[in-house]
């Protein structure tokens, strides 16, 4: 009945579709995988425990995964690798849950160690996080990876993230594919918000700057506070933003922003091409109009009109705006722009005491001049003034990608504005 060298799995026993004729091919140089639409299973066929784990993993995909994961990823606006990693975790942990032996893992410990070393050497933190997530539930392989990653920062964050993802996945009992999507959305939002410059990309080297490490640490701390339920994984829609631009009759002197101009004097020549034009080959920094300050006027900030005036007085020449929301929408009011400020009667929260429009106002801020400062305690909400980790991560992502600096209180913001204003030139 059975060839001694080949141990064939039995996909027919797990497939719900009775009329499918499965073909099985040994995975020699190819990664094991299943093609449900072609009824093709590519798996290792040797008799080792690791190969059996891989076969069972693929049988789990046949039993539990949708046939077209790429379609599901695009439908849910998820990166395919994120969805795949989370789905692998679901399959592994479900196998363990129903009593299939997964203790051997899918790779022998010695090979696993080399693989982990290679991952750490390559240093792609996104890869590290996704691999850690995908390996959860794989017995010995998980143990080796967990130990190795825990020894090195910031790879140790990958272990924390994977553990949190696991808790979210199993929050409501035996997970279905919708739980994979839920968890993948959470992970995707986290990866996006941890990306320092470009979306969906963490730094290639593991030597994260202290700021980046602190940022990742603070994100994880914040996510811990949201627990594992809907607040962690279900996004709340953003409210509709209305921009209010009242007249600005008051002229304000001074500059907050910085600009660079070509100069005849300097130390290091920067504009060599100007040598024969006007001789201004050096670069000189000067104060000019610029900078933007966005103030969260919601109830949690407890901001008074005096606080707003303090900020206005410390940000001459900058765009200053304040926002707050009602249940379903919010108003962004521009208080100062182009060296002019609004009258006193406009200085105050423009709408109710809710946030609701944090992300739309951050998008607005990201189009204003640098430096961009957001005065907010970090409590962001969507429609109905409801909070969600996904919403918070989205705002964090915009801040990272568009170089927006957040300050928790008016005092801290004023301190920062003072620093920027220190060498004021009129």
Partner 1 sequence: MKTYTGRREYHLTIVTANDRPLNPRLDLWKHSPTGFEWGYGGSGPAQLALALLADHLGDDELTDDLTIAELDLPSGEKVKPDSGFTCVATMNGSPNELLDPALQDRFPVCINIDKVHPEAVKQLPEDVLQAAERTALIDNEERRVSVRAWYAFAHLRQKLLKLYPQEEAQKLAAEAVFSTRAQDALDALVIGQAQAG
Give contact residues for partner 1 (rule: CB under 8 A): 1-4, 6-16, 18, 21, 24, 47, 52, 55-56, 59-60, 63-64, 94-95, 98-101, 174, 176-177
Residue 224: how many CB atoms within 10 A of its CB?
13
Please report how close the Cβ of residue 66 comes to partner 1 at its closest, in angstroms. 9
Comparison of 3 and 419: residue with beta carbon closer to partner 1: 3
Between CA 168 and CA 242 the distance in angstroms is: 35
Please report how close the Cβ of residue 13 comes to partner 1 at its closest, in angstroms. 4
Please report how close the Cβ of residue 78 comes to partner 1 at its closest, in angstroms. 19
Cβ–Cβ < 8 Å for 360, 273: no
Beta strand segments in 11-82, E: 23-26, 33-35, 40-43
Between CA 172 and CA 91 the distance in angstroms is: 16
Assign 159 to helix, strand or coil. helix
Please report how close the Cβ of residue 38 comes to partner 1 at its closest, in angstroms. 16
Tokens 């279905």, located at residue: 176
Between CA 363 and CA 163 the distance in angstroms is: 32
Please report how close the Cβ of residue 33 comes to partner 1 at its closest, in angstroms. 17
Cβ–Cβ < 8 Å for 404, 366: yes
Please report how close the Cβ of residue 207 comes to partner 1 at its closest, in angstroms. 43
Beta strand segments in 67-209, E: none
Comparison of 5 and 267: residue with beta carbon closer to partner 1: 5
Structure tokens at 129: 């996080």
Comparison of 94 and 157: residue with beta carbon closer to partner 1: 94
Comparison of 66 and 199: residue with beta carbon closer to partner 1: 66
Comparison of 65 and 421: residue with beta carbon closer to partner 1: 65
Please report how close the Cβ of residue 178 comes to partner 1 at its closest, in angstroms. 9
Please report how close the Cβ of residue 187 comes to partner 1 at its closest, in angstroms. 21
Comparison of 1 and 276: residue with beta carbon closer to partner 1: 1
Tokens 């949690």, located at residue: 300
Instruction: Please work out, in degrees rounded to the nearest 5, the angle formed at the alpha carbon of residue 351 by the alpha carbons of 346 and 357.
Output: 120
Cβ–Cβ < 8 Å for 255, 343: no
Q: Residues with Cβ < 8 Å from 147, sequence gap 6 or more?
A: none
Instruction: List the one residue out of 377, 375, 381 whose CA is nearest residue 307.
Output: 375
Q: Residues with Cβ < 8 Å from 47, sequence gap 6 or more?
A: 7
Comparison of 94 and 160: residue with beta carbon closer to partner 1: 94
Comparison of 53 and 335: residue with beta carbon closer to partner 1: 53
Residue 206 C-beta-side C-alpha neighbours within 13 Å: 18
C-alpha gyration radius of the chain: 27
Tokens 């109009």, located at residue: 289
Residue 241 C-beta-side C-alpha neighbours within 13 Å: 22
Structure tokens at 89: 């975790």
Please report how close the Cβ of residue 9 comes to partner 1 at its closest, in angstroms. 5
Buried b (16+ CB within 10 A) or exposed e, 26-47: ebeeeebebebeebebbbbbee
Please report how close the Cβ of residue 34 comes to partner 1 at its closest, in angstroms. 13
Instruction: List the one residue out of 17, 35, 16, 37 whose CA is nearest residue 27.
Output: 35
Please report how close the Cβ of residue 61 comes to partner 1 at its closest, in angstroms. 10
């Amino acid at each position: 009945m059975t060839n001694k060298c080949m141990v064939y799995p039995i996909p027919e026993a797990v497939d719900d579709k009775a009329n499918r004729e499965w073909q099985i091919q040994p995975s020699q140089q190819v990664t094991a995988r299943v093609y449900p639409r072609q009824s093709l299973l590519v798996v290792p066929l040797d008799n080792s425990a690791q190969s059996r784990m891989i076969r069972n993993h693929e049988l789990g995909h046949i039993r539990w995964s949708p046939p077209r994961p790429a379609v599901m990823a695009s439908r849910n606006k998820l990166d395919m690798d994120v969805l795949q990693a989370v789905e692998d975790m679901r399959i592994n942990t479900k196998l363990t849950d129903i009593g299939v032996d997964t203790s051997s893992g899918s790779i022998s410990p010695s090979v696993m160690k080399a693989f982990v070393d290679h991952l750490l050497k390559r240093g792609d933190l996104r890869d590290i996080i996704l691999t850690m997530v995908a390996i959860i539930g794989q017995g010995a392989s998980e143990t080796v990876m967990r130990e190795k990653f825990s020894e090195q920062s910031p790879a140790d964050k990958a272990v924390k993230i994977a553990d949190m993802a696991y808790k979210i996945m199993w929050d409501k009992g035996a997970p279905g594919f919708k739980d994979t999507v839920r968890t993948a959305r959470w992970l995707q939002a986290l990866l996006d918000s941890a990306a320092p410059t470009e979306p969906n990309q963490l730094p290639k080297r593991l030597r994260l700057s202290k700021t980046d490490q602190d940022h990742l640490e603070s994100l994880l701390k914040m996510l811990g506070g949201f627990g594992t339920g809907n607040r962690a994984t279900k996004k709340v829609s953003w409210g509709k933003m209305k921009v209010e631009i009242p007249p600005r009759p008051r002229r304000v002197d001074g500059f907050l922003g910085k600009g660079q101009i070509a100069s005849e004097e300097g130390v290091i020549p920067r504009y060599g091409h100007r040598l024969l034009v006007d001789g201004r080959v050096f670069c000189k920094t000067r104060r000019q109009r610029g900078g933007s300050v966005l103030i969260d006027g919601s109830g949690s900030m407890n901001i008074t009109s005096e606080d707003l005036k303090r900020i206005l007085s410390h940000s001459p020449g900058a765009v200053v705006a304040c926002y707050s929301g009602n249940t379903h929408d919010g108003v962004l009011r521009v208080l100062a722009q182009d060296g002019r400020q609004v009258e006193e009667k406009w200085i105050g929260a423009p709408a109710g005491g809710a946030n609701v429009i944090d992300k739309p106002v951050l998008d607005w801020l990201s189009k204003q001049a640098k430096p961009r400062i957001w005065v907010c305690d970090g409590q962001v909400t969507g429609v109905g003034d409801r909070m969600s980790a996904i919403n918070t991560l989205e705002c964090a992502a915009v801040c990272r990608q568009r170089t927006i600096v957040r300050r928790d209180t008016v005092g801290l913001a004023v301190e920062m504005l003072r620093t920027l204003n220190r060498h004021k030139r009129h």
